[in-house]
Structure formats: structure tokens, C-alpha cells
Amino acid sequence: MIRFKLLAEHESLPAHNKGTGVWFGAGALNVDIGQNPVLLLRSPDGSVGAALCSNDAANSYKQSIDDLLKTVLEKFERKGFQPSSLESAMLGGAENSKWKWVHLQKIAKKAFANLQEGENGGLYYRTISFETKSGVVTVARKKANPNDWNPASANLSLESGTKGFSEGNAGGVVANATRFFRQESTFKALREEVIPTHLRETPDQPFLFWSAACSAGAEAYSYAMYIHRTLARAGATCPFRVYATDINQTLVEGAKSGEYKVSKSDIANFKAYFQRYGTLEGDTVVFGKEIKQFITFGTFDLKQRPRKTGFRMVVCANVFQYYDDDARMHFLENFISAVTRPGYIFVGPTRDSTLRELGLRKLAKYNVLLAE
Ligand SMILES: C[S@@+](CC[C@H](N)C(=O)[O-])C[C@H]1O[C@@H](n2cnc3c(N)ncnc32)[C@H](O)[C@@H]1O
């Protein structure tokens, strides 16, 4: 029988193995499982045991679990133990990798009838020591600073650092998910309100658009294609430019290449765009010069005062949820300073009191803010 022993938060365990793998043997198996869940297996006589853990990212996690499980079962079989005879338990995995827990649990329940479940969740890094002979697994937990680690669980203030965002894959999880044509209401606003207003008010001025916090850039290419198409359809002759910035330099550098793996649903929905503005081969789209020439990528922290001004629209999508009211207010002030009038701003969740204080009006139809 596997038994769990949870240490107090100030207690720790000795040096550990780390990463993705199967640790197999007799005696103490020491593994630094970080924010990932671990699967523990033990022969009924305790002569041998295993810890299986993967710190692989989203797209390869499931495959790595399948591979590791196959490897570990072969090891037990070579020692004469059938899967059905093994004791099994799982534990660990932080709040932000809940989906890993769910997947591992599904696989483990299918493979082992007697799966025991230990503590998991929370904002913790964990290390374990699995004593195969006694079946005792000792767990040490270290509280993570969400700001250094997983911004998805953070409530960042202006004073907080943003290492979790700027350093990309700190801890393997970062809230930088993005996709093509994501914020539907803003495309509608562009077509029905923002571009018509620009063409009416300042038809000869360049149309400047800012994708603030563009992540890997799918958003910037989406807006560039959409604006290009909408201006062309309107017979407009004004130049346009999409400025696309993010705090994460790695993402920004990747975005410049203009090459993306696209999902089946992206292809079904946006094939015409991909083929018009790039080349689509299999599941890869590569944007061409024709559209790249309208986009300027750069790194920029939203806490800084923008140097560039005159934007007709700023879109800062799926970012405000990670920040506190003080930071949201500061970012909004920065956007207001960067837009021309009337200027359109999309930011996601904000308090009505903040909008009143900043003199912004909400265009409910598009969920867009108007600076007049
Ligand atoms: C969830 S993604 C959203 C990407 C895109 N806007 C979208 O909606 O698909 C959040 C992005 O915000 C960026 N970010 C977070 N804090 C930032 C800051 N202070 N300055 C600039 N970018 C920031 C992150 O690096 C990440 O790429």
C-alpha cells in the first residue's frame, strides 16, 4: 500500500531528479516534480517501484505520458510484475496544470484498478521521495510566487514584476495563448465603426492600429489582413500600419518570422486569408512580404508611457484579467495618451468607476471604449 506523508512548508527533501522521465528501482526515488503531477507504481512486495512524471508542454504532454507508461510497464514486466498486480498512486500538480492531473488520472484509472490520489493543486512546487520498500511517499511543498511563475494565477499590481510574462516559459506555463481573429467584436467594430470614422474624419491620414500585448503575433497578422481588406473594399487610399508589441522578446522575435502552425478549424475558417496573404502548405502558413510590410513588431512593457501616438485603435486583449485595478488604470491612461480622437480602445474587464474617472465611454455593441 502506498501512503502519503506531507511535510510542513518549511521542510525540504534532498537533491532530486528532474524533468520528464521514469525513475525506477528499489529504495528511495527522489524526484523534483515541480508543478507536474506524478504517478507512482509499486510491486506488491515493495521490491521495486517507479515514479513517472512529465514536464512537457501542452502539445506533447499526452504523448509523453503514453510513452513513459509503456516504458515503465515494460520495466515491471521484465521484473515479473504484471500491470494488474501493481499498487498505484498519483499526487502533485499545481493549480495551473490541473489539466495534466485530469489527463494523468484518466490514463492511470484505465490502467490500474486501485489508483490512490494524494494532495494536489495550489500554487506549489513539489519534490517527492518515494520509499519503495515501505510504500511511503514523502512530499515537500514550496509556495511559488505567482508573479515569477504563472501569471494565470496572478493578480499583478503595478509594483509587481512581470517576469512570468517576459521570460516566456518560466516553469513551463505562461499565459500567452493566442489565436487568429480571436477577439471577434473588435473586427466588427473595425468594419462598422472605426474604419468608417477614420475615413470620414481624416481620410488622408495614416490609419494606425496598435496590437498591445500581441503574444506570438497571430493577432497582429489577423488585424493587418483585416484592415488591408476593409480599406481596399472601401476604395480607401490612406496608408495603414499595425504596431504589434509584447513584453516577451522571444514571442516578438518569433512573430517577425510570420510562420505559424494552424489548426484544422483555423484552416476551415480563415483559409482564404492565409492563401491571399501568405502560402498555406499542410498545417503551416507563412505570411508574405505583402502583409508583413504593414506590421512593425517590437518589445514593450505596458507599464511604460508609449512613445508612439496617433493610433485610431488600440487592442489589448486577454491581458487585463491578470492585473489589478491600479495596473489596469495605468495601462488605460497610457492607451488614452496614445490614441487620436475619437480613439477606440479594447481592453477587456474594467470597472465602470474607472471608465468614469478616465472619461471613457463604452460602446456596448462592440465592448469597445471611446476616447473623445
Ligand atoms: C493571453 S496573451 C494575449 C495575446 C493576444 N492579445 C490575444 O488576445 O490573443 C497575454 C499576453 O500579454 C503579454 N503581457 C502581459 N503583461 C504585459 C505587459 N506588462 N506588457 C506587455 N505585454 C504584456 C504576455 O506576454 C502575453 O503574450
For residue 98, tell me if it sits in a domain.
yes
Give the Å distance between the CA of 152 and the centre of ligand 1: 11
pLDDT in tens, 60-102: 788 999 999 999 999 999 999 999 999 999 999 987 677 889 9
DSSP letter for 128, please: E
Average pLDDT score over residue span 346-369: 92
% residues pLDDT > 90 (the chain): 76
pLDDT at 278: 98
For residue 288, tell me if it sits in a domain.
yes
pLDDT in tens, 308-327: 999 999 999 988 878 878 88
**227 and 305 both lie in a single domain:** yes
User: Is the predicted pLDDT of residue 146 greater than 70, yes or no?
Assistant: no
For residue 167, tell me if it sits in a domain.
no
| Of 26-40, 166-180, 341-355, minimum mean pLDDT range | 166-180
User: Is the predicted pLDDT of residue 132 greater than 80, yes or no?
Assistant: yes
pLDDT in tens, 22-40: 999 999 999 999 889 999 9
Q: Whose CA is nearest to atom 16 of ligand 1?
A: 165
pLDDT at 76: 97
Residue that terminates a domain, selected from 112, 143, 174: 143
pLDDT at 250: 87
- Classified as helix, coil or strand, 341 is strand
Q: Whose CA is nearest to atom 1 of ligand 1?
A: 176
pLDDT at 324: 79
For residue 165, tell me if it sits in a domain.
no
Q: Whose CA is nearest to atom 27 of ligand 1?
A: 215
Query: Given pLDDT bands bounded at 50, 70 and 90, which one contains residue 155?
Result: low
What is the DSSP track for 187-255?
Answer: HHHIIIIIHHHHHHH-TTS-EEEEEES-TTTHHHHHHHHHHHHHHHHTT----EEEEEEES-HHHHHHH
**135 and 49 both lie in a single domain:** yes
Q: To the nearest whole number, what is the mean pLDDT of the chain?
A: 91
**225 and 94 both lie in a single domain:** no
pLDDT in tens, 181-233: 998 999 999 999 999 999 999 999 999 999 999 999 999 999 999 999 999 99
Residue 165 beta carbon below 6 angstroms from any ligand 1 atom: yes
Which of 215, 320, 321 gets mutated to test ligand 1 (max ligand atoms within 8 A of its CB)?
Answer: 215
Query: Given pLDDT bands bounded at 50, 70 and 90, which one contains residue 235?
Result: very high
Closest of 104, 80, 78 to residue 93, by C-alpha: 104
Q: Please, what sign has the CA dihedral across residues 54, 60, 61, 64?
A: negative
**248 and 363 both lie in a single domain:** yes
For residues 266 and 104, what is the distance between their CA atoms, to the nearest angstrom? Answer: 28
Residue 160 beta carbon below 6 angstroms from any ligand 1 atom: no
For the chain, the domain total comes to 2
Question: Cβ-count burial of 185 within 10 angstroms (0-12 exposed, 13-18 middle, 19+ buried)?
Answer: middle
Residue 246 beta carbon below 6 angstroms from any ligand 1 atom: yes
230, 142 in Cβ contact below 8 A?
A: no
Average pLDDT score over residue span 123-139: 95
Query: Given pLDDT bands bounded at 50, 70 and 90, which one contains residue 173?
Result: very low
For residue 312, tell me if it sits in a domain.
yes
**139 and 239 both lie in a single domain:** no
**48 and 102 both lie in a single domain:** yes
For residues 136 and 126, what is the distance between their CA atoms, to the nearest angstrom? Answer: 16
**CA-CA-CA-CA dihedral for 244, 247, 253, 259, to nearest 10:** -60
User: Is the predicted pLDDT of residue 170 greater than 50, yes or no?
Assistant: no
**19 and 122 both lie in a single domain:** yes
* Domain hosting residue 76, numbered range: 3-143
pLDDT in tens, 48-63: 999 999 987 666 788 9
Give the Å distance between the CA of 246 and the centre of ligand 1: 6
Residue 257 CA to its chain's centroid (Å): 20
pLDDT at 140: 96
